[in-house]
Amino acid sequence: MTKWFGFALLLVFHLSFSVYLNAQTKDDEVISVDSSIVVMNAAVTDASGKGIRGINPKLFHVFEDGQEQEIKSFDAEETPFAAVILLDTSGSMETRVSLARAAAIQFLDGMRPDDFTAIYKFDSRIEQLQDFSNSRDITDHIFDIKADGMTLLNDAVLKAAELLSKRPEKRRAIIVLSDGADTMSRATAEKALKAALLANANIYTVDMSALDTGGKERMQTQGILKNFAEKTGGRFVATSGGPAMRNEFKRIVEELGGQYTIAYQPTNTNKDGKWRAIELRISRPNLTIRTRKGYNAPNAKLR
């Protein structure tokens, strides 16, 4: 395992990405990864949702666009994570801001000494409430937040991804507490998702929409949040409060520290900017695997 772990560290430090932004229009924005190594963090659970650790590396198989890839490194050790909590404080969250705040406090309470978390709020603008810290204490500013304005959900996810891309931790997460209704972002949901994938960040989304929200509207907003979670290997949480939410946040913290980190060198070296689908399989029955679904290849035309 020591050999695997050392090789993993070496390869992870080779992972880098570049963001190309055209300031004229959001449609011109292009984000691509410039790396010969693809790294993924995977959570493995049983039928009850309990995390499974200690799986033999030889049982893991990675496929890119249907073609099996050679795993270059494998790390199953508990390791620190970096996370960004995004609190939706837009006008539509008026009755649920205190609930979102309590969830953030719950997350911090479960952190270990070497885990680091930053907290941001978003409405008509994105504002830092607390910089990256390993403290379980929360800034007093969080108790002054009010619900008002529009919703910059996509821009907030994009901002979190950029922050995490600069962190040294291999395991990264974005925790979104929102009703899912973006009303003002410059960035598209696709652009925000790509940025999170390139930062190798799992997105965990918590549906904060009101219980009396109409069926069609609720399905649409949940669909947005589910897409962020499923594509990045995170998890969508439907519960909106109470003991169930506290238990979910406890599970998220435990999961982030106990993921499997896997790296491979793609056999497809074409720099065409196209989407590469990733599938991780385990030769062991009755297990659920969550990891990111793919990445965008480098685009030679942008160099």
- pLDDT of amino acid 78: 86
- pLDDT of amino acid 164: 98
Residues 65 and 114 in one domain: no
- pLDDT of amino acid 128: 97
How far is Cα of residue 55 from the mean position of the Cα atoms in its chain? 23
- Total of domains in the chain: 2
- pLDDT of amino acid 213: 65
Domain that holds residue 247: 81-257
Residues 252 and 263 in one domain: no
Residues 92 and 124 in one domain: yes
pLDDT per position as a tens digit, 153-178: 999 999 999 999 999 998 999 999 99
> At how many degrees (to 10) do helices 97-109 and 242-257 cross?
40
Residues 124 and 50 in one domain: no
Q: What is the pTM of this model?
A: 0.86
- pLDDT of amino acid 42: 96
Q: How many DSSP H helices and E strands does the chain contain?
A: 6, 16
Domain boundary among 224, 241, 257: 257
- pLDDT of amino acid 249: 84
CA atoms within 13 A on the CB side of 51: 18
Q: Which residues of the chain have pLDDT under 50?
A: 1-34
Residues 275 and 154 in one domain: no
- pLDDT of amino acid 141: 83
Residues 249 and 102 in one domain: yes
Residues 147 and 201 in one domain: yes
State the CATH number of the domain containing residue 170: 3.40.50.410
- pLDDT of amino acid 248: 84
Instruction: Give the E-state strand segments of the chain in sequence order.
Output: 17-20, 30-33, 38-45, 60-64, 67-69, 71-75, 81-88, 116-122, 126-133, 171-178, 201-207, 236-237, 260-264, 275-282, 288-290, 294-296
Residues 252 and 105 in one domain: yes
Residues 238 and 272 in one domain: no
Give the contacts of 134 (CB within 8 A, at least 6 positions apart). Answer: 111, 113, 114, 115, 116, 117
- pLDDT of amino acid 3: 40
Residues 43 and 105 in one domain: no
Residues 142 and 203 in one domain: yes
Q: Tell me the two tokens of residue 66.
A: 């249907």
CA angle 99/156/204 to nearest 5° reads 55
Residues 54 and 109 in one domain: no
- pLDDT of amino acid 9: 37
